[in-house]
Amino acid sequence: MANLKEVRNRIASVNSTQQITKAMKMVSAAKLRRATDAIVQLRPYASKLKDLLANLSASLEDGASPYLQEREPVRVLVVVVTSNRGLAGAFNTNAIKAANNLISEKYSAQMKAGNVSIVAIGKKGHDFYTRRKFNVVGNHNDLYLDLNFINASKITDEIMKGFVNGQYDRVELVYNHFKNAAMQFLITEQLLPVPKPEKNEKEAAKKDATPESQVDYILEPSKEEIVEQLIPKNIKIQLYRAVLDSNASEHGARMTAMDKATENAGELLKSLKLSYNQARQAAITTELTEIVSGAAALSGS
Amino acid sequence: MTLEILTPDKKVFEGEAKSVTLPGNLGFFEILNNHAPIISTLNDGKLTVKGATEEVFFIKGGVVEALNNKVTVLAEGIIHK
């Protein structure tokens, strides 16, 4: 039978752990709300930009922007978005695993030649790849301290510069896409060169039907220059959206993980209390038998 | 005309305006009511909205679209008001 004092101590410690996980769940819920708000805020900008770009670039030829240039992928950069903190279930592990899968499946030749670089956004991924002696470029763990578009663009600027300079021939992005608090999907997408939009006939027909595409815009300074400016913006938005998504997913994952932890702590407490009461009962029973048998022995003499 | 100023972080302005002055790539210009459809890129600089009151924003680059009395400014950021 378990020692009474020992069980009492364990109950106390499980209780305080449960309080912590409960508090963490609340905090994550609040942060999740803010993170999803940020995604919602981004949406009108992103969709407007996409409309404009689609309107303008439809008639533009290839090679208008250096970011569209398709090259043999000799040097590859993988951008892995993780979080700075753990205790979020399999959130970080999943992102890292997906990135590793991508490297081993698609870029194993480049990996052998040592031509795979990593940009890790978030401490967990950064630590993982530095420990394994990957070529990790820069340190972007501070982004989460002040997550806004301008700070995220700084990272994208570096990546785009590297691509134009020929430092990387292809840039892939791995992150957790936010579906809802309980569900995250891992997404692997190509950031650079910008994938060609699938020229869908149905879509083209639809576009012709809407009057908007027939509007004769005044374009300043010129169509080419506008598109040239819009494409980098779109790339920045893509990365920013990935980081926002990942951020929301992190809080969602942590919320569910902490919810489970609180639940498990509750179950543990229940069984601990049961064994505590059993031990207490047993102790009382032994004491009673001792007293009764002692009294019986006395009266018998 | 209705004016919308959007940044990736938030919607900065939405509402009726009489005119808006923008830091275009080819110099400052103003959009009034019934402006012809235009798309123009913008530099960093001062954006002035005249409506019921006058509001000034300092934007960080972007693009503006005006169509059917609906003006949309996509700015990369607002440096300060």
Nearest to A219 among B39, B60, B76 (CB): B39
Q: Which residues of B touch A237 (CB under 8 A)?
A: 8
Residue A70: predicted pLDDT: 83
In this complex, the residue of B39, B72, B77 whose CB is nearest that of residue A150 is B77
Percent of chain A as helix, strand, coil, to the nearest 5? 65, 15, 20
Asked if A218 and B40 come within 8 Å (Cβ–Cβ), the reply is: yes
Residue ranges per domain, chain A? Answer: 66-195+211-256
Could you tell me which chain B residue has the CA closest to the CA of A214?
A: B37
Domain parsing of chain B, residue ranges: 2-80
B-side interface with A, Cβ within 8 Å?
A: 4, 6-11, 24-26, 36-41, 60-61, 63, 65, 67, 72, 74, 76-77
CATH of A66-195+211-256, one of 1.20.210.10, 3.40.1380.10, 3.20.20.70, 3.30.1280.10: 3.40.1380.10
Of A270, A248, A75, residue with least CA distance to A163: A75
Q: How far is A158 from chain B (nearest CA, A)?
A: 17
Q: Which residues of A touch B40 (CB under 8 A)?
A: 218-221, 226
> pLDDT per position in chain A (301 positions), as tens?
558 889 999 999 999 999 999 999 999 999 999 999 999 889 889 888 888 888 777 666 555 678 888 888 889 999 999 999 888 888 999 999 999 999 999 998 888 888 899 999 999 999 999 999 899 988 888 888 888 888 898 999 999 999 998 889 999 999 999 988 888 889 998 988 887 765 554 444 444 444 445 577 888 888 888 888 888 888 999 999 999 999 999 999 999 999 999 999 999 999 999 999 999 999 999 999 999 999 999 887 6
> Do the Cβ atoms of B13 and A152 come closer than 8 Å?
no
**What are the pLDDT digits (tens) for B50-73?**
988 889 999 988 899 998 899 999
- Classify strands B54-59 and B11-16 as parallel, antiparallel or unpaired: unpaired
pTM of the model: 0.83
CATH of segment(s) B2-80: 2.60.15.10
pLDDT of residue A211: 47
CA–CA distance from A76 to each of A12, A130, A167, A291 (Å)? 52, 17, 9, 81
Choose the closest CB to A149 out of B9, B24, B37: B9
DSSP-derived secondary structure for A146-185: G--HHHHHHHHHHHHHHHHHTS-SEEEEEEEEEEETTEEE
